Amino acid sequence: MNSKYNVNEKGFYGDFGGAFIPEMLYPNVEKLRQQYLSITAEQSFQDEFKALLKDYVGRPTPLYYAKRLSEQFNAKIYLKREDLCHTGAHKINNTIGQILLAKRLGKTRIIAETGAGQHGVATATVCALMGLQCIVYMGEVDIERQAPNVARMKMLGAEVRPATSGSKTLKDATNEAIRDWISNPEDTFYIIGSVVGPHPYPDMVARFQSVISEEIKSQLLEKENRENPDYVIACVGGGSNAAGAFYHFLDEENVKLIAVEAAGKGIDSGESAATSVLGKIGIIHGSKTLLMQTNDGQITEPYSISAGLDYPGVGPMHANLYQTQRAEFIAITDDDAMQSGIELAQTEGIIPAIETAHAFAVLKHKKFEPNDIVIINLSGRGDKDLNTYINYFKL
Ligand SMILES: *Cc1c(COP(=O)(O)O)cnc(C)c1O
């Protein structure tokens, strides 16, 4: 696609992106780069991908007109129901795409890293579906914090390997996964869970998730007789659900895009994950992007009450959307998000993931016109977060 907001031939979004990887990984990443577009364009790939999205994931997900929310905020608010996907969030769209690609590349062993465990579960799910070996790296601290997801992965047949170095969290798990990939270049495919990592991963993941905005267009045409909304709002951890919801609107400059980051306890509190505001250019996970770091370039540990937004960087597409101001970036605190989560539950009968609740908090901070069509990407359901809700509200 010839777009200032999409990836160029060299793998960059403006100043961001690229593939900054160890020499040993080059052949693997290069082979993927050369083949991902042709393989995913094949009719047999498209047929299998679409059939699984339909009958296994449950797509198309509904575009739901939220009547009570619309009355409350005086705009036409639609919710894109990714929470209704199999496994409870958008992440499965991408893992299905990548495992089909891995199979066509002749790979038999799948590795992944996970922080909160959601991507680990989505990966373990598709490995079970395809009968492939699955190894998920996870920080030792995260293994303790996210016990239910660890149990899910094990039940699905995956091996969960603890990362015991550094802060024992996501970035350490990523290092372990990359080390594994270097040692097993022939048979192993690395499934990355967001629009991060070396080129072509951000573009590949964005394409797999772009089914979200493709569906929004046709659903909105049916409901409102127009393809383009006035606003699309999505939360951003690495940025994959936002990339999917924005994708087909990137060049439609009259569609306003709002990316919602986690402010944690406040942008200036020292406990935050508002990467675009706090981040500086650096390299993380093989990609040049905005990331939170100390003056001498050490990655800082992010903080958010929602485990899925707790990432020290942001994908290169979003770094560029921030820099070019194509998207507006808004940071929402823990308290604000939690309040919006319980309000959505009691206004529409939908308990959102806490990640997603950040996107809803924007409704209180933005002024809309009564005829504005506002789409919120409801990236996931809140079942996994029930304990956090219970402790926070003393339910
Ligand atoms: C993982 C996750 C996110 C954050 O990841 P992105 O790549 O930014 O989409 C957001 N919402 C839910 C429900 C998640 O599971």
pLDDT digits (tens, 9 = 90+) for 6-59: 999 999 999 999 999 999 999 999 999 999 999 999 999 999 999 999 999 999
pLDDT digits (tens, 9 = 90+) for 318-375: 999 999 999 999 999 999 999 999 999 999 999 999 999 999 999 999 999 999 999 9
Q: Name the residue with the closest Cα to ligand 1, atom 4.
A: 237
Residue in 113, 176, 348, 355 annotated catalytic: 113
pLDDT at 243: 98
Could you tell me the pLDDT band of residue 310, with boundaries at 50, 70 and 90?
Answer: confident
Phi, psi of 190 (to 5 degrees): -100, 110
Give the global pTM. Answer: 0.97
pLDDT at 151: 97
How many Å lie between the centroid of ligand 1 and the Cα of residue 24? 30
Question: In the predicted model, what is the mean pLDDT of residues 83-111?
Answer: 98
pLDDT digits (tens, 9 = 90+) for 226-253: 999 999 999 999 999 999 999 999 999 9
Residue 296 has pLDDT above 60, yes or no: yes
**DSSP structure string for 330-344:** EEEEHHHHHHHHHHH
Atom number of ligand 1 nearest to Cα 194: 7
pLDDT at 359: 98
Break the chain into its structural domains and give their ranges.
Answer: 24-52+91-205, 58-89+209-393
Q: How big, in percent rounded to 5, are the helix, strand and coil portions of the chain?
A: 50, 20, 35
Is 384's C-beta closer than 6 angstroms to any atom of ligand 1? Answer: no
Identify the helix (H) or strand (E) that includes residue 109.
strand 109-114
Residue 1 has pLDDT above 70, yes or no: no
The overall average pLDDT reported for the chain is 96
Is 377's C-beta closer than 6 angstroms to any atom of ligand 1? Answer: no
Is 28's C-beta closer than 6 angstroms to any atom of ligand 1? Answer: no
Is 306 catalytic? The answer is: no
Considering the four listed CATH numbers 3.30.360.10, 3.30.70.860, 3.40.50.1400, 3.40.50.1100, the one that applies to the domain covering 24-52+91-205 is 3.40.50.1100
Is 97's C-beta closer than 6 angstroms to any atom of ligand 1? Answer: no
Please state which CATH class domain 58-89+209-393 belongs to: alpha beta
Is 340 catalytic? The answer is: no
